[in-house]
Every structure is written in structure tokens, then in C-alpha cells.
Amino acid sequence: MNKKILYAIAFAIALAAPFFGYPVFLMKLLCFALFACAFNLLIGFTGLLSFGHAAFFGSAGYVTGHLLANVGLSPELGILAGVAASAVLGLVIGSLAIRRQGIYFSMITLALAQMVYFAALRSPYTHGEDGLQGVPRGKLLGMLDLSSDLTLYYVVLAIFVLGFALIVRTVHSPFGQVLKAIKENEPRAISLGYDADRYKLLAFVLSAALTGLAGATKTLVLGFETLTDVHWTMSGLVVLMTLVGGMGTMAGPIIGAFIIVALENKLGDVGTALAETTGIEWFSSLGESVGMVTGLIFIVCVLLFRRGIVGEIGALFERRARAKPGTMKPSVVNADREIA
């Protein structure tokens, strides 16, 4: 099926979703889906594994929450300020991290992100372990009242669609093609005249800004911001979302985010229902075992679905297409190329 048709179907489902589900939970799903897509832009298409994206996610949330609650800015200006803060932070961290490659790059991002965490823990503006509470939603552009969950849902959906469209456009642009070339073979890209460090830094800043957009929107939706969003476990969570859904695919991070967030929020309810139905009390403790269940899903995906859910589905369709009558097998194609 054509990708445009699939996107249209998904968008139609998203438009109708708040009439069948809880809008706040759906908005949280959209925020984490955008977070995972932004992270996938860096790891899936540039080949850079960051363990510090929680710093951008949480810092944007703190900036937006503080400006809305204490300064009285409008929602659009608060979100823009949060995005700007995460982009600047991404520029600083990225400038330091891209000097190294591989695991050293990842460890630098983790170390710098932990510095952001401890700054948030001690800063009087973040209220430490208590976090920011009572962040008002306000009125968008001074006209649209966001106190209604349904109204805010469509605003969040529009933000997600715009962010996702920007990622798709970036990946399919000449800039995105260079990023893919750097991921596949960086020395060869450099030999062709591309400044790999500059391209990687631009990709890092763009990923940080989009991550900040997700974090700022989440703060607006939930009305609070806590240290959880800047902790290293949040960086690990987005890695898990991307790998489960399918790294390097467009829809994979969205699917992965939906699965992980749904597990975290609904596993306890499912366990309670199973305990009442089967009479087995052990099921009622599933809500306390989210980490164990999530880890088990990650292990299964690594062992059985190495490309992620969407990646494996795509590979299955490719194998079926090759197996159709009249389709030349890859080995024959390669042999013909070698002969030519």
C-alpha cells in the first residue's frame, strides 16, 4: 500500500481518537512519539547514539513550565522558548560530543546530560525533587482556550504532524542524504568533500530542538515537570522505543513509543482485570513490574526482531515481493552485475 495512503489512514484515526480514548493519555502518546522520532533522526539516519537526550526533553519542559507559571507567557511563546533552550543546549553538548566517535560520543552525551540533571536538582527555579507544579495551559494566540482537553488534543496533534513532517522532509532532502552517507561510511563522505562534523552537529541540534518541542508540549499537557524527564533513564527509554519500533524507519519510533508508554500506563489495569478474571493474584502485581516486562520485550525484539517491529514487517514484504513469479532473485541480479 502507498505510504501516503497509510499516512492518511493514520491521520484519520488520530482525528477520531479523542472520541474513543482519554485525550490526556493520547496527548502523552503523541509527545513521546515525537520524542522518539527526533531521537531516531540522530541514531537511525546519522548513526549517532546519544545517551543524553533526556537533557533536551526535560530542560525544554522546565523552561516552558517556568515561563508559563511564573512569568505569564502565552503557550506558543513558552513552547518556542523551550525549543530554543533545548536547541542552544544541543549546540553546546553537540559541539563537545562530536569530537569523539562510537561509545566515547555516547558517554560524553551521558555525562553532560547528568550535569544538566544535577543542575535541575539544585536549581531554585525547578523546585528540586518537588518539580514544577500547576503549569497553566492558557490561551493559544490569545484566542483559543486550551483548558479543554479536546481542544488541546488537536493542538498537540498539529504540533506532532508538523514535527514529523519536518523530520520526513529532512531525511528525504539532500541534507538527509548526506547524513545517510556519513552513517554508512564517514571517511568516504569526507573524501567526497563533505564536512562530516558540521553535518553531524546540525543533525544533533535539530534532533535536540525537536526533542525540546516534545518536552515542552508534554509539560503544557500534564501541567507539571519533574526530574524524571531529565534523568538518564528517560534517555534509555527513548532508545528502547526506537529499537522496539524500528530504528531507521519513519513509523517505527511512533509504534515503539505507543507500545512502551501504553505498557507503563495500562499494564496495572490489565493485570488487575486478569487477576479478577482468573483469580490469580500474581497478575495484580504487574503494574509494579513494568520495568521487567519492558526489559523482556526489549530482549525478545533484539533476539527475534532485530530490525524492530516496522523493520521486520518491511523486510517481510520485500521477501514476498522477491519471491513473486518473474522477479529476479538477488543472487542472479548480483551475478549479472558482476558479468557486466
Of the listed ranges 99-113, 128-142, 255-269, the one predicted with least confidence: 255-269
The set of residues, in sequence order, having a beta carbon less than 8 Å from that of 168 and lying 6+ positions away, is 250
Q: For 210-255, write each residue's pLDDT tens digit.
A: 999 999 999 999 989 989 899 888 998 899 889 888 888 888 899 9
Residue 324 predicted with pLDDT over 60 = yes
Higher-confidence residue of 29 and 127: namely 29
Surface-to-core class of residue 297, CB atoms within 10 Å of its CB (0-12 exposed, 13-18 middle, 19+ buried): middle
Give me the percent of the chain exceeding a pLDDT of 70: 86
Residue 289 predicted with pLDDT over 70 = no
* Mean pLDDT (the chain, rounded): 84
**Contacts for 157-165 with beta carbons within 8 Å, 24 or more apart?**
157/14, 157/15, 157/30, 159/30, 159/34, 159/79, 159/213, 159/217, 160/30, 160/31, 160/33, 160/34, 161/11, 163/34, 163/37, 163/38, 163/210, 163/213, 163/214, 164/34, 164/37, 164/254
Higher-confidence residue of 273 and 237: namely 237
**CA gap 253, 246 in Å, rounded:** 6
The set of residues, in sequence order, having a beta carbon less than 8 Å from that of 319 and lying 6+ positions away, is none
The set of residues, in sequence order, having a beta carbon less than 8 Å from that of 253 and lying 6+ positions away, is 33, 36, 37, 39, 40, 44, 241, 242, 245, 246
Residue 164 host element (H or E): helix 149-171
**CA gap 219, 132 in Å, rounded:** 9
**CA gap 53, 241 in Å, rounded:** 13
Q: For 132-191, write each residue's pLDDT tens digit.
A: 888 888 888 878 888 888 999 999 999 999 999 999 999 999 999 999 999 988 889 899
Q: Give how far Cα 116 sits from Cα of 137, 192, 200, Å.
A: 26, 37, 22
Of the listed ranges 21-30, 39-48, 191-200, 293-302, the one predicted with least confidence: 293-302
Q: Tell me if residue 145 falls in helix, strand or coil.
A: strand
**Buried b or exposed e, range 249-265, using 16+ CB within 10 angstroms:** bbbbbbbbbbbbbebbe
DSSP string, 66-98: HIIIII---HHHHHHHHHHHHHHHHHHHHHHHT
Q: For 234-244, write each residue's pLDDT tens digit.
A: 998 899 889 88
> What predicted TM-score, i.e. pTM, was given to this entire model?
0.87
CATH code of the domain made up of 11-327: 1.10.3470
**CA gap 230, 219 in Å, rounded:** 13
Q: Residue range 18-45: average pLDDT? A: 91
Q: Residue range 82-97: average pLDDT? A: 94
> What pLDDT score was predicted for residue 29?
93
Of the listed ranges 42-56, 125-139, 294-308, 316-330, the one predicted with least confidence: 316-330
**CA gap 315, 299 in Å, rounded:** 20
The residues with which 225 forms a beta bridge, in sequence order, are 132
